[in-house]
Structure 1
Amino acid sequence: MHIVLAFNLREESAVADDQPPSEPPSLPTEDLYAEWDDIHTIRAVEAALASRHEVTLVNADLEAYARFRALQPDLVFNIAEGLHGASREAQIPAMLDMLGIPYTGSDPVTLGICLDKRRTKEILSCHRIATPRFAVVSTLADIPARLRYPLIVKPTLEGSSKGVTDKALVHDRKALVRQVEWVLTTYGQPALVEEFLPGREFTVAMLGNGDDLQVLPIVEINLHTLPAGVNPIYSFEAKWIWDQEENPLEIFTCPARLDPFLQRNIEELCRKTFRALGCRDWCRIDVRLDAGGLPHVIELNPLPGILPRPEQNSCFPKAARATGLSYEQMILGVVDAASRRLQLTEKGYHENRCLL
């Protein structure tokens, strides 16, 4: 097949030498590119796809629509995070739907919902999927009194731990007001205030669709390995500052050490969540246990991070390696999942294209 790899390249001027900032963000521009991919990741995905397919690269900028329209590829491998606004992760899939070009991963609706933590949690609650109690705060007057401390404060419309600094965990109203005000001012969007769960934390990589949906080995985040005196959360600092490629934290265990009952509960919770949000082909789901040891969904990542080198501590590739998949096999597994879903055999592909 001819596959286009759609991506957003991290600006070298924004993050020198492809490294994140050395301090937590104080302005939204300082972590603007945290979600985007560096050239090393893009080249690794390109090489994996090129082992079996013809590959063309398209940066998901303002010229992307014209390039897709001209290229008319068999499939787009989508890792583009988008440019601006709450719809940014949905922008490239929406273009491709308009052009009738098939692509890997979830559709614009699912991507838009999963980026919005409020909408995600509303759907989880509707489906009676366990998730921490929460409130959405648009002004300081909206700060809730009914939630139990400690609480964690997050921007509603960000990924890659943007805005979730070590100060996000608060234990009293004064700290809550301060952190909500910081999110409102810094990110210009509502804050999600959520009851903090004190138990173990996991992230769960999923690959496939329907009856072929595979739960890869579960990754545990060992929060006790963080620097002394910091909060037990996988914060912006933990992800981008304290955990460096040349000196990685020993923060992950994969496969997680779980008794069979808890492992089965987490896997079933994630399968139900994947279906409820309409995910396709792949996703990573973050899970945390409450004080009673019951798993709750924290959020979904239908465009999971896929940094290629093991020392980069990227969780989806880590889970794939634990099940015996190389980076190349993982990427091609996403292509295969999408191809089965879309019935993109050579014969099926040409029949489908004739209908466009």
Structure 2
Amino acid sequence: MVYTENMRIAVVYSLPSSRMLKTKFASADEDTGYIAKKVADGLGARGHVVEVYPVTEESIDEIRGIKTDCIFNLIEWCGLDISLSERAFEMMRATNIPVTGSSEELFVLTGDKIRMKKALKDADVTTPWGVGVKNVDEIPEFIPYPVIVKPHLEHCSIGLSSNVVVYNRAKLVEVVKRQVAEFEQDVLIEEFIAGRELLVYLIEEKGRAKILPIVEMLFEGGDPMSFQTYDAKWTEGSLDYKNTYYEQAKLTNAQQKALEENCLRAFNTLGFWGYARLDVRMRDAVP
């Protein structure tokens, strides 16, 4: 397909599932509508004819009836709702219309922290030690404390708070039990990287990925053990939210080079397309 000015573009986005609306984490999916509006406004300002399609779990099949030149895909059901996204991808394929973003296979992969960690390791991308477990009986003897315990299928910092970083086995057993029970899924036990937290945005132009200015997430007090919790991202008025802010990262040439090499290797080796964001922790100049 040749991309031209004045294209007809359908911005297709997911609304929170009925399951998610019953949880305290619905905010993580409600912002997709805001993003869809921003995307539509930006495309419209460039002369394209844009229609916005909010999709519920009941209306997924209606995607197949969309008539347009290009679908801008903002379907973002993750976690226990991943099957909804898989149905949406199926309907988009049925339209035979070009779709933005990465493939269904890569979308599903990036939504699974355990599988994604293995894929990064196989791609020779530096990544912290980690292991997936179904229950406390699977916790290995060797643990490089401190570690953080993450629900392996969740997104948007769901399940992340300061009390999921642990320093000893007794606490690890307690947190693994709690996370598995609350989120009804396996968890990733991962070495916690004390240091800086960076957001690396990549965009592809003419078949080549490039890195945009890197953003650093900063925390009041500068504690290297701080990180973006769910409250820091979504709960306005919370202490974490008030104490978290962003600015363009100040990096040495060596730090910039290491970040670029690692993130470009991940983008190119794993088959990302169009655009991506990688969240990176950096310790002692090593991403």
TM-score interval (norm. to shorter): 0.7 to 0.9
Out of 127, 130, 142, the position equivalent to 1:131 is 127
Q: Does 1:31 align with 2:37?
A: no
Contact kept in structure 1, 2:201 and 2:276, CA below 8 Å = yes
Q: Does 1:261 align with 2:267?
A: no
- Separation in structure 2 between the aligned mates of residue 178 and residue 65 of structure 1, nearest angstrom: 39
The alpha carbon displacement at 1:76 in A equals 0.7
Q: Does 1:3 align with 2:18?
A: no
Residue equivalent to 1:79: 74
Contact kept in structure 2, 1:202 and 1:286, CA below 8 Å = yes
The alpha carbon displacement at 1:183 in A equals 1.2
Over the aligned positions, Cα root-mean-square deviation in angstroms equals 2.7
Out of 219, 222, 225, the position equivalent to 1:223 is 219
Residue equivalent to 1:100: 96
Residue equivalent to 2:35: 41
Q: Does 1:156 align with 2:162?
A: no
The alpha carbon displacement at 1:31 in A equals 0.7
Pairing 1:223-262 to 2, within 5 Å after superposition: 223-225=219-221, 232-241=226-235, 249=243, 251-254=245-248, 256-262=249-255
Residue equivalent to 2:108: 112
The alpha carbon displacement at 1:210 in A equals 6.6
3-state SS in 2 of match to 1:119 = helix
| Distance verdict in 2 for CA 1:132–1:287, change over 3 Å | same
3-state SS in 2 of match to 1:44 = helix
Letter of the structure 2 residue corresponding to residue 85 of structure 1: D
Contact kept in structure 1, 2:199 and 2:280, CA below 8 Å = yes
3-state SS in 1 of match to 2:259 = helix
- Separation in structure 2 between the aligned mates of residue 177 and residue 114 of structure 1, nearest angstrom: 26
State the TM-score, normalizing by the size of structure 1. Answer: 0.70
Letter of the structure 2 residue corresponding to residue 293 of structure 1: A
Percent of residue pairs identical: 29
| Distance verdict in 2 for CA 1:67–1:50, change over 3 Å | farther
Letter of the structure 2 residue corresponding to residue 257 of structure 1: K
- Separation in structure 2 between the aligned mates of residue 113 and residue 41 of structure 1, nearest angstrom: 22
Residue equivalent to 1:293: 285
Out of 33, 41, 48, the position equivalent to 1:53 is 48
Contact kept in structure 2, 1:136 and 1:192, CA below 8 Å = yes
- Separation in structure 2 between the aligned mates of residue 185 and residue 172 of structure 1, nearest angstrom: 20
| Distance verdict in 2 for CA 1:288–1:138, change over 3 Å | same
Residue equivalent to 1:207: 203
The alpha carbon displacement at 1:164 in A equals 0.9
Residue equivalent to 2:3: none
- Separation in structure 1 between the aligned mates of residue 37 and residue 62 of structure 2, nearest angstrom: 19
Which has the larger displacement, 53-62 or 82-91? 82-91
Contact kept in structure 2, 1:123 and 1:276, CA below 8 Å = no
Out of 256, 264, 275, the position equivalent to 1:282 is 275
Q: Which has the higher strand share?
A: 2
Contact kept in structure 2, 1:116 and 1:157, CA below 8 Å = yes
| Distance verdict in 2 for CA 1:126–1:166, change over 3 Å | same
Contact kept in structure 1, 2:194 and 2:225, CA below 8 Å = no
Residue equivalent to 2:192: 196
Which has the larger displacement, 260-269 or 55-64? 55-64
State the TM-score, normalizing by the size of structure 2. Answer: 0.86
The alpha carbon displacement at 1:38 in A equals 5.5
Contact kept in structure 1, 2:160 and 2:230, CA below 8 Å = yes
The alpha carbon displacement at 1:45 in A equals 2.2
Q: Deviations over 1:135-162 (max 9, x none)?
A: 1110110112212110000000011000
Letter of the structure 1 residue corresponding to residue 267 of structure 2: F
Residue equivalent to 1:67: 62
The alpha carbon displacement at 1:60 in A equals 2.1
The alpha carbon displacement at 1:175 in A equals 1.5
Letter of the structure 2 residue corresponding to residue 93 of structure 1: F
3-state SS in 1 of match to 2:23 = helix
The alpha carbon displacement at 1:43 in A equals 2.5
Q: What is the aligned residue count?
A: 276
Out of 261, 273, 276, the position equivalent to 2:266 is 273
